[in-house]
Chains A and B, each alone.
Chain A
């Protein structure tokens, strides 16, 4: 009895020690592990709170400060959201009831819309009937599901576009420069990118003047001292909405709403309107936890991307390597 009790206790201690070390590791990985856990619950994504919740800091002009306060360090620990369709919210800001049902079914049956990396099943467009598919976007999504996101541009070290910047699990910072009427967002990962949000009330360039780019053209305004609204247009078509491979076109427009309900939490909301790929707009939302004391180290994705070197198309030809010339024997593989 005593021996079994001791063994059980030891087991429990091992569990506790391992769980906490895994948590530390997860938290250090950009909050990805923690975010993965909470996201599957179908909630709006609450960050892990390690200490007391305190009010959001403010700038001298009264608007919310999305960054650090003097004398302190900290970064936003962006979660890993691989399937944004599971974050679509209704007018009430809550995840759609049908998504909660799909998640419950996936939990019961394993796989489905929730599955993904690590060998889990992927259900394709049929598993997400709430998404306003067009036939072609559903077909492209099914293709990306079937080959398990083999051709994800982020795997090529290309930047995310639109909301995926806030769903790629590397840390980021928001730096406000009200005196210059602009806001910078800088990202450790996702190819070490930055974006500038113009706060000077400018109009969007029109026609050919709006040159399509990965991150788009961003114009922001304060809806009230708590809410930053950023409109984005001018995306190119070289990125995916998420790892699962929801496509978008260069007609995509994204309206982002940023709030900091408390110092430890950034609430992010993005409404995607893409008349080229989806029959109606949809809104997604999640929370991003603040990591007190964090800083951004360098991350240059392009350095040694062997995945890209090895990548072959569906016909077995290298995507980026030399292609066989007429009369030449095709290569037999790159690895």
Chain B
């Protein structure tokens, strides 16, 4: 019982603390925080650019076998560097697990909150954040 409680509390704190904020465009105009996703795919391209770094991944639908190329938005290179990234951290061909929020318009676009790569989780300096 207490074990579960401790884990739940740790999880809650983890969720509420992960506020990385880089102001640029309106997160909520474009993405839906109530539509979280977790998907794994192979990187096809990385745009290490301002105001948002984008990377693209091919994700295969296990049921249909159809491959979709998803665009994933992260923070600015400055924000990512402060979170431990460099421009060479992610390359085409890398297999990554991405967590974040889906676009509101239903297109294959996501706002990445964190990326798991080579067993290491990196925060994505996401524009999703707790605003005032």
Comparing A48-56, A145-153, A227-235, A259-267, the segment that makes contact with chain B is A145-153
Give which listed residue, B2, B24, B83, contacts A8 with CB less than 8 A: B2
In the complex the two chains form, what is the Cα distance from A300 to B127 in whole Å? 16
Contact partners of A33 in chain B: CB under 8 A: 19-21, 129-130
For A4, give the chain B residue with the smallest CB separation: B2
Comparing A12-20, A133-141, A213-221, the segment that makes contact with chain B is A12-20
For B9, give the chain A residue with the smallest CB separation: A11
In the complex, the answer to whether B50 meets A169 with C-beta atoms within 8 Å is: no
For A38, give the chain B residue with the smallest CB separation: B132
A110 to chain B, nearest CB (A): 13
In the complex the two chains form, what is the Cα distance from A323 to B130 in whole Å? 36
Residues facing A in B1-52 (CB within 8 A) are: 1-3, 5-7, 9-10, 13-14, 17-30, 32-34, 47, 49-52
In the complex, the answer to whether B78 meets A80 with C-beta atoms within 8 Å is: no
B122 to chain A, nearest CB (A): 10
A201 to chain B, nearest CB (A): 36
Task: Please report the total number of A residues contacting B with Cβ < 8 Å.
Answer: 65
In the complex the two chains form, what is the Cα distance from A96 to B12 in whole Å? 32
In the complex the two chains form, what is the Cα distance from A335 to B76 in whole Å? 21
In the complex, the answer to whether B3 meets A3 with C-beta atoms within 8 Å is: yes
Give which listed residue, B3, B5, B10, B29, contacts A149 with CB less than 8 A: B29
Bin chain B's interface residue count.
35 or more
A26 within 8 A of B: yes
One digit per residue, 1 when the CB lies within 8 angstroms of any chain A CB and 0 when it does not, for chain B 86-117 equals 00000000000000000001010100000000
A81 within 8 A of B: yes
Give which listed residue, A4, A28, A36, A149, contacts B132 with CB less than 8 A: A36
In the complex, the answer to whether B132 meets A81 with C-beta atoms within 8 Å is: yes
A65 within 8 A of B: no
In the complex, the answer to whether A148 meets B52 with C-beta atoms within 8 Å is: no
In the complex the two chains form, what is the Cα distance from A55 to B99 in whole Å? 45
* Interface residue ranges, B against A (CB under 8 Å): 1-3, 5-7, 9-10, 13-14, 17-30, 32-34, 47, 49-52, 54, 71, 73, 76, 78-79, 81-83, 105, 107, 109, 123, 125, 127-132
* Interface residue ranges, A against B (CB under 8 Å): 3-5, 7-8, 10-12, 14-15, 18-19, 22-23, 25-26, 28-30, 32-33, 35-36, 39-40, 80-83, 86, 114-120, 147-150, 152, 154-155, 157, 168-170, 188-189, 243, 297-307, 310, 333, 335
